[in-house]
Amino acid sequence: MVLSMKEALGMEKELSCASDSPLLDTEMILSFVMRQKREYVRAHDEIRLSPMQESSFRNLFERRKLGEPVAYILGRCFFWDFELVVNSSVLIPRPETEQLVEFAIELARKNNRRTCIADLGTGSGVIAIALAKAVKDSVVHAVDISEDALAVARLNANNLNLKNIKFHKGSWCSGLPEKRFDLIVANPPYIKNGDDHLLKRELSYEPMNSLVSGDLGYSALNTIIDQSPNFLRKDAWLLLEHGYNQQEKILDRLKTKGYSSLSGHQDLSGVDRVVIARWQK
Ligand SMILES: C[S@@+](CC[C@H](N)C(=O)[O-])C[C@H]1O[C@@H](n2cnc3c(N)ncnc32)[C@H](O)[C@@H]1O
């Protein structure tokens, strides 16, 4: 006989090796297959799956058991109050990126003209989209080197009906149009080649060029710091997300390169995560 939703949910134990949140993952996969909200699945767990639903559930559940992230399995994820399409061409947006976005919104709202923002390494478009939604009169230029990532970002912006984002293919600031920006934001790759974190099974599903940046993990961050002065207006801001142990070195480099009003910030878990710097020349 086919599975009931209760029996399907009971399979969560099989995920305990692959996931820190086995029940949540099982509920998400089941509600996706049943095309119902998680609350419905929980409240009506006596309902039986159809043979096709069971086969689809088992298939997706097996992928999760092998370590594939739920967001890739379902092809979507949430950030703040919006949903994004994701696939293996883009990094799955992380909750810690909310910190960078919040600072950027605060600075953009203080700006007394139409804010011109650059998002370097846009991936799924998450940062560009969050800013374009929150700062209505802004225009956001989103750059990525990967055409496949840009296709996902464009789709996400279209799905959310956002007209104030322009997408560009290119490498960091060289992908930007010849103009000056009020804010440049970036969450670039910052893990060093061969780092132990890369051995985590879930990371092996994400694109390497979203994660790794040179032998020390600083290549992309340094390039962005060095290129940005040619694209920032006087008194404009650069905001960078970075790895847990990189803040001191990044602040040093920003200082050496002539930025001012430097500050380092932690994410919601108390980990050093964001630097903010002003270009006043
Ligand atoms: C850490 S991911 C960040 C994605 C997204 N901004 C986020 O916060 O979820 C870094 C992104 O940088 C892009 N990237 C890597 N090298 C690049 C380069 N040289 N120029 C522009 N983008 C690059 C990758 O394709 C990837 O989408």
Q: Which positions ≥6 away from 200 have C-beta within 8 Å?
A: none
As a dihedral over the C-alpha atoms of residue 114, residue 175, residue 195, residue 61, rounded to 10 degrees, the angle is 80
What's the half-sphere exposure (Cβ side, CA atoms, 13 Å) at 84? 29
Burial 236-272 (b: 16+ CB within 10 A, else e): bbbbbbbbeebbebbbebbeeeebeeeebbebeeeeb
Per-residue pLDDT of 177-191, as tens digits, reads 999 999 999 999 999
- Please list the alpha-helical segments (H only) found in 137-260: 147-159, 208-211, 219-227, 247-256
| Residue with tokens 């639903």, as numbered in its chain | 53
Q: Where in the chain is the domain with CATH 1.10.8?
A: 5-67
Residue 53, Cα to own-chain centre: how many angstroms? 30
Q: What is the mean pLDDT of residues 71-80?
A: 96
Q: Whose CA is nearest to atom 2 of ligand 1?
A: 210
Q: For 94, which DSSP code?
A: P
pLDDT for 176 equals: 98
pLDDT for 113 equals: 82
Distance 210 CA to ligand 1 centre (A): 5
Q: What is the mean pLDDT of residues 40-65?
A: 96
For the CA of 100, the closest atom of ligand 1 is 8
Distance 147 CA to ligand 1 centre (A): 11
Look up residue 228 and give its two tokens: 């940005």
pLDDT of residue 76 exceeding 90, the answer is: yes
Ligand 1 pocket check: which of 208, 209, 213 to mutate, most ligand atoms within 8 Å of Cβ? 209
Per-residue pLDDT of 156-175, as tens digits, reads 999 999 999 999 999 999 99
pLDDT for 138 equals: 95
pLDDT for 281 equals: 83
pLDDT of residue 49 exceeding 80, the answer is: yes
pLDDT of residue 70 exceeding 80, the answer is: yes
Fold observed for domain 5-67: Helicase, Ruva Protein; domain 3 (1.10.8)
pLDDT of residue 1 exceeding 80, the answer is: no
pLDDT for 91 equals: 98
* Contact predicate 205/72, CB 8 Å: yes
Q: Whose CA is nearest to atom 18 of ligand 1?
A: 171
For the CA of 190, the closest atom of ligand 1 is 1
Give the mean pLDDT of the chain: 96
Classify strands 165-169 and 139-144 as parallel, antiparallel or unpaired.
Answer: parallel
* Contact predicate 4/29, CB 8 Å: no
pLDDT for 2 equals: 87
Per-residue pLDDT of 202-244, as tens digits, reads 899 999 999 999 999 999 999 999 999 999 999 999 999 999 9
Distance 124 CA to ligand 1 centre (A): 9
Q: Where in the chain is the domain with CATH 3.40.50.150?
A: 89-279
Q: What is the mean pLDDT of residues 142-161?
A: 98
* Sheet containing 139-144, strands listed edge to edge, beginning at the edge strand earlier in sequence: 165-169, 139-144, 116-120, 181-186, 232-241, 272-279, 260-266
Rounded to whole angstroms, the Cα distance separating 95 from 203 reads: 16
Pocket of ligand 1 (CB under 6 A): 90-91, 93, 97, 120-124, 126-127, 143-146, 149, 171-172, 187-189, 209-210
Residue closest to 96 by CA, chosen among 276, 274, 275, 277: 274
* Contact predicate 141/157, CB 8 Å: no
Ligand 1 pocket check: which of 145, 150, 219 to mutate, most ligand atoms within 8 Å of Cβ? 145
Classify strands 181-186 and 232-241 as parallel, antiparallel or unpaired.
Answer: parallel
Residue closest to 233 by CA, chosen among 185, 281, 174: 281
Higher-scoring residue by pLDDT: 111, 188 = 188
CATH class of the domain whose range is 89-279: alpha beta
Q: Whose CA is nearest to atom 24 of ligand 1?
A: 210
